[in-house]
Structure 1
Amino acid sequence: MSKVVVISGHPNLAASNTNRVILDEISQAVSEVEIRRLDERYPDFNIDVEAEQQALLSADVIVLQFPFYWYSVPALLKKWLDDVLSYNFAYGASGDKLKGKACILSFTVGGPESSYDPLGYNHFEIEQMLRPLQQTVYLTGMQFIEPVYTHGMVYIPGVYNELSDVQSKAKAHASRLCERIQNVIHDPAIQIERFVREWFARFDVLPADSAEFIRALSEDITLDMMGDHYQGHEGFRDWYTAARRTFKPGCEHLVEQIEVREKGKESYRIELRVRLIAENYKDSPLGGQAVNLLVNEVWQVNLVGNLVQITDYQVMATEQAK
């Protein structure tokens, strides 16, 4: 089951007329959701970076929920972004920890939609103002999902709107956000990409028992490992045994590119570019030399429900590796 982590960036959620309603609705409608209230956790702005990073690592879908303050996020959420999305975690040479996760911006806007227009008093459209946040998501390698936002979400007694109206709009906003989350969770490309990253994460450990890999392979799978051919489950076991005799546990597979293409009903082609960084044993065919190898991989998979099954697996050297 996919886990959803919601980062609430409202500086005083207890006083909110809309964000609080949205989060209450989400907590009831979405299974396996964790809502992290930054205002409760960090009233002094002293962010526990490790705790926040661990929360993000556990997530498949990350939602940033906030009121739109001065055309951006509130200061507390900006501090969270600055601290948590750090070098070698969210970006940089080894900063791929969030890669492939889905990110949804969900926010409330006080001004009417007509004001976010070249002829309105805010002059620019909301989408234009979101570009720094959109680029932030892109740089981390996360998938930028179409944002959910609602205008006219301010209530000032006797001045702006009625409380019942803005809270009704907040519930409608929550409904749209829930639908967006469900669409992401059940998107085949996202399910497959998550499977690929979990596959390599487990392979990096090189467990003695190959059963968890076998479960994801069709009985008649064909494997072409840079010219070495294997067939079926027994073929995979032979190849995996040889891999364990060559590489030390603690390998690192970095998925640099991934593209999922639909071939037919429940059938997909996955094109990957993967970098393997590994140590190997001295008595292996590689003679103990460290490996830093870039390869192309092509997988054929079937997706039935939430189950991904690999039917064909090819690994080919890139031009750089030849």
Structure 2
Amino acid sequence: MSKVLVISGHPNLDESYTNTVILDELKAGLSDIEVRRLDTLYPNYQIDVEAEQTALMSADVVVLQFPFYWYSAPALLKKWVDDVFSFNFAYGPEGDKLKGKDFILSFTIGGPAESYDPLGYNHFTIEQFVYPFQQTAYLAGMNYRKPVYTHRMVYIPNVYNKLEEVQARAKDHASRLAAQIEEITASPESRMQTFVAEWFAKFDVLEEGTEFFTDKLAQDVKWSMPEGEFLGHDGFRDWYAIARATFKPNCDHDVQQIEVKPNGDRFQVELRIRLTADSYDDSMMKGEAVNLNVNETWQVSIDESGRVIIHEYSVVPVVS
């Protein structure tokens, strides 16, 4: 199963009647999960950015768990986002470190559902209130997933709700969240979205070594490119050398569409990509800038552990 990172943004989790239950249920039900309690890690609000970015990069699914405070997240979690989602990490010319990761908001709400309506006293929907988080995920290239939230989660003795009721809701909340995580991580579409994002993020840099790529290619991979056909790992290395001699680092493969179809015991992955790149003056492109659409078709297998192996890879430029 994919690694799940849960960022607990409650400023005083020990006093929570619901967020603690949700976290305990998740830890008991998911096999590969890390929970980072911001209230104990950073009681003085001084975020260790490097440590948090390292945790994010090792995760496949990122969950922000928090109580809904004044129509947003608590200040501690907001500061975490402000500090950690930094330039050239989450956005900017080199800010692709979170690209392709799944992003889920999970939060508890004190007020009733009917109040979050144009005719209710909160006037706006929950989805509208969390638009800033949705856009943050989009800018970072993450897959924004449907948020998981539960109303009437406040407990004040003899005033609001009963403890057993809110904790039962918390357990139901955790079950829904775990089910969504399992659905996301188990689907071939999700695995391929993550794989494709990681593949092109690495390829766009055009580093010298090929181990990252050959580790994900079948030994007899068939590589069909405009430059010709190449077979096996050695063939890929020959083609990659041509690509590195032609294009300058920091290309951009903008994946505009991805479709995954079962194909026997494998999957056919069809991608629509806009490629922008600069070429070297002494290359076959003679220093020309590249800006074109290409269709890519992959034949891949996915084993029980979720590892993706490419067996065939075809690229065809779109002629307008």
Shorter chain as denominator, the TM-score bin is: 0.7 to 0.9
Distance 2:278 2:63 in 1: 32
CA deviation map 1:17-45 (0-9, x unaligned)? 00011011111111211111111111111
Change (3 A) 1:100 1:274: farther
Q: Which range moved further: 268-277 or 99-108?
A: 268-277
Look up the match of 1:93: 93
Shift, 1:150, TM fit: 0.3
Look up the match of 1:79: 79
* Alignment match of 2:254 (pick from 236, 253, 256): 256
Say whether the 8 Å CA contact 1:188–1:303 is kept in structure 2. no
- The list of structure 1 runs, each at least 4 consecutive aligned residues, that deviate by more than 6 angstroms after superposition, is 289-292
Partner SS state of residue 193, structure 1? helix
Change (3 A) 1:277 1:25: farther
Say whether the 8 Å CA contact 1:72–1:129 is kept in structure 2. yes
Counterparts of 1:1-322 in structure 2, within 5 Å, are: 1-200=1-200, 204-207=206-209, 213=214, 216-217=217-218, 219=220, 221-224=222-225, 226-232=226-232, 235-240=235-240, 246=245, 251-252=249-250, 254-265=252-263, 266-275=267-276, 286=283, 296=294, 298-305=296-303, 306-315=306-315
- Across the aligned residues of Structure 1 and Structure 2, the Cα RMSD in angstroms comes to 3.0
Distance 1:150 1:237 in 2: 52
Shift, 1:241, TM fit: 5.9
In the superposition, the TM-score normalised over structure 1's length comes to 0.84
CA deviation map 1:135-188 (0-9, x unaligned)? 121111111100000000000000111111111110110010001111111222
Say whether the 8 Å CA contact 1:297–1:313 is kept in structure 2. no
CA deviation map 1:81-124 (0-9, x unaligned)? 11111122212222222111110000000011121122222122
Distance 2:221 2:78 in 1: 51
Change (3 A) 1:215 1:111: closer
Say whether the 8 Å CA contact 1:218–1:309 is kept in structure 2. no
Shift, 1:312, TM fit: 3.3
Change (3 A) 1:123 1:54: same
Partner SS state of residue 147, structure 2? strand
CA deviation map 1:245-285 (0-9, x unaligned)? x489x95554322522134443321333345679x8x9xx7
Say whether the 8 Å CA contact 1:299–1:310 is kept in structure 2. no
Partner SS state of residue 146, structure 1? coil
Say whether the 8 Å CA contact 2:149–2:173 is kept in structure 1. yes
Say whether the 8 Å CA contact 1:201–1:253 is kept in structure 2. no
Q: Which runs of 5+ in 1 are unaligned?
A: none
- AA partner of residue 272 (structure 2): E
- AA partner of residue 270 (structure 2): R
Change (3 A) 1:277 1:318: farther
Q: Which range moved further: 64-73 or 49-58?
A: 49-58
Distance 1:292 1:14 in 2: 57
- AA partner of residue 154 (structure 2): V
Distance 2:77 2:207 in 1: 35
**What's the % identity of the aligned pairs?**
49
Say whether the 8 Å CA contact 2:8–2:35 is kept in structure 1. yes
Say whether the 8 Å CA contact 2:252–2:277 is kept in structure 1. yes
Change (3 A) 1:218 1:273: farther
Say whether the 8 Å CA contact 2:217–2:233 is kept in structure 1. no
Say whether the 8 Å CA contact 2:96–2:140 is kept in structure 1. yes
Q: Which runs of 5+ in 2 are unaligned?
A: none
Say whether the 8 Å CA contact 2:68–2:110 is kept in structure 1. yes
- AA partner of residue 163 (structure 1): L
Shift, 1:193, TM fit: 2.5
Distance 1:274 1:93 in 2: 15
Partner SS state of residue 161, structure 1? coil
Shift, 1:307, TM fit: 4.0
